[in-house]
Amino acid sequence: MTGWNIDAPGVGGVLNTVLTHLGDGEGSGLDGAVGRAQDGIVDAASSAVSAPVEAELFNLLEHLGALSGEMFARAGSAFEGCANAVDAYLVGNHEMAEEAQRNAGRIDESDLSPNV
């Protein structure tokens, strides 16, 4: 644990920036961009005059949902791990800080839920 020198306010600023870029679940940031892409794919599939094209667009939608779900789960885990590590560091619990750092970014299957 020696060698850590964390600027907690600086980390907080970075985490807030990351949250802004990820989005608020209401249509901003990456979350909003993914939602708009999914809406566009649904619109395209609904307008397709070809059953094979429609089927492939819905396959793409399913694939995008799975990838974006994993991406947001990993980002959330990394965010939470970083915040927990800094919190533990600030109260002097270096073992807990190291554990939070080790777990940051890890997800399991229960963290993944379909977005579609």
Q: Provide the pLDDT for residue 112.
A: 61
**Averaged pLDDT, 95-116:** 75
Model confidence band, residue 40 (pLDDT cutoffs 50, 70, 90)? very high
What pLDDT was estimated at residue 44?
97
- In this prediction, residue 2 carries a pLDDT of 53
Please, are residues 44 and 57 in contact by the beta-carbon 8 Å criterion? yes
Indicate whether 26 pLDDT > 60: yes
Instruction: Reduce the DSSP state of residue 114 to 3 states and report it.
Output: coil
Q: Supply the pLDDT for residue 115.
A: 46
Q: What is the DSSP letter of 37?
A: H
Mean confidence (pLDDT) of the chain: 89
Question: Residue 72 corresponds to which tokens in the numbers above?
Answer: 């947001």
Instruction: Say what the pLDDT of residue 25 is.
Output: 83
pLDDT at 12: 94
